[in-house]
Chain A
């Protein structure tokens, strides 16, 4: 795909003695939200962590804007403009909300317009600005994790299961927020909540047993209940 911002080509990743990704090949088009779906243990998080350089690909290529990043250190990948929001949010609990954001800002200073936009999206960030992050609720921590990803202009944001453990009301707000962020940045979103994913995703890939088993438009998958049944209740027998 010529408009791909990120391309994974036959990526294999091992964690200790376990072979987790068995040749993931994936094109992420530029702009909007692309969703990576799959059951527990299918390899979604491993895919994100491998892209981010937190786990090393044993084989295959990860090409970001025509540069192979598969051998780069996570810090170098981040400096290319890729942000990562892990499943556990990766908040520094001992730091204040402000310090968490300041750390994510390349210069240590804030762009006022960008910060104001974050305050508009997440009023709790302004409200708890000088409070220790460990004291925030789960939803507020998720807001802080996402704010950290957008405190600087990014080209690609990798987000791992942002709705996990969150109340439905917060998830509703998050859909609007991700739509807004997705207008200017490409988002690769790992999700298990299909309702959340289909309301956001432009494209969708389904991973199972460390391989991509479906690629396509989210609208097509959302309209095809039979395909949903096949893909979203995947079992080893289908491989």
Chain B
């Protein structure tokens, strides 16, 4: 008989409550493998903590989302939102699947070019484009989404005496019946600014108004808002067609579809509350199809989804450093990854699974990161079996935003590994080194260590 693992004795407060048929189980299951590769071997090979991305899951997400739209609408194009995860390997997976690039800065724009995306398949969004960046986008025939009148005027100046008109779209914000109202990007629909901008572009004769763009929010939990947004963009497109005699080529509905992470403060888990991509597709496409375009003249539908396509393909593997009891008697577990690399722990109650078998008892605990900072809390409250130092954990659904918003703070950023469809692992970003972080630094001679 195998020797049983030592269990530290503990005292648990007795809760008198209603009986339920599941007993006291938490439903937590150990996650020992990711795409068939053991967590243990991943940590052994690549260190702890380590980000792991599943190519199979990314492609599956992309295809099912694309299927949801393309079986409902004849002209659909996805553009990968670079800011969600712009590791080149990840971008290339999306480009291979047929995605264009959606970028919001000159830095991201150059990244997209570097990834071999043709200029005319790059959508350039964002409120902060410089003169040079606009110039570059014009030369590459990219789709420039105008955010404000200053940018519009800037573009008009740049597009004097050009043989080919730069292709632009205007970003529109609107009341879609949700709170908060996202009115800081683009031109407002209700107060008429959007129409003013639209007519200004069309009448200038120097720019080609190719599309209309909106992005009504992030982590949207209602599909109705997209119906309202699509209706308002269609209204602008039809008015543009009838009043300005100009056909809009595409309508870009942006992104904002939620992943199944649970938002902080949510009463029910994300899995149960979040509408599926099919629900969003149904609302958007039926609005466009029924709005009154001739079916030969339907505008293309562009989507800039990020999070929903990659969040659940990303995992963060880490190791328990220590346990302690807080003054309240609550258990605290310290792990080796902090909020500096798991930025989304500010937004979500990330699901965390132990990576090895555990005892059937569980306890409410707080999980801290390794940073010597008060804010470094991964989960304020989570029911997990007691974990021992050296135990490994898996954080789920971390594919979106973490690998772009992470920062080098106190600790160094870890390795990112991609598991391909043949279950081979590839390092797609190595862990940082001291030398790497110090490379851009200069120490004046009088301050140099003797």
Note whether A and B form a binding pair. no
Chain B positions near chain A (C-beta within 8 angstroms): none
Chain A positions near chain B (C-beta within 8 angstroms): none
